[in-house]
Amino acid sequence: MKIIKLTIISFSLFFIAITEVAAQTLTAKQQEYEKNKVQIFTVNERDNLLNWFTERAKSMNLSETKEDKYTGVLIFYFVKMSRLDDKDLGNSKEEIAQKMDILLKKQDVEIKAILSEDEYKIHQKNYNKFIKSIKKRIAETDY
């Protein structure tokens, strides 16, 4: 389970680092992207949410191979979903929710193929709480 935690934390730190140096080193296109980016969670809130999920993911006791596949799918869809509320896409809250649900269904198919039935049940229980927090914050955010 160290890989899940390290991957998710590394992924988070990478995006934090990019944000921190954005004004100093970004091209015009990258600066435009940063200008359109919406942050619905503070860095601390995001870290707490990811730590919460990572701790619960440990209870699945995945093999290293499964863990790598599982984490890869989560990160792939996390990146796609994190762009849905960017200003340059012009999505309304309803469109964000609809597109997020489509991505979650696709992700779910891939996750289900990786995990055993018991592991999948644990994933669903934890991930549904995780996504509920994200959807709640999206609903509360003014764009």
pLDDT of residue 95: 84
| Three-state SS annotation for the chain | CHHHHHHHHHHHHHHHHHHHHHHHHCCHHHHHHHHHCCCCCCHHHHHHHHHHHHHHHHHHCCCHHHHHHHHHHHHHHHHHHHCCCCHHHCCCHHHHHHHHHHHHHHHHHHHHHHCCHHHHHHHHHHHHHHHHHHHHHHHHCCC
pLDDT of residue 110: 96
pLDDT of residue 21: 44
pLDDT of residue 2: 56
- Tell me the average confidence (pLDDT) per consecutive run of 10 residues in the chain, 143 residues long: 58 52 56 57 73 80 89 85 75 83 94 95 87 80 66
pTM above 0.85, yes or no: no
The domain locations on the chain are 2-140
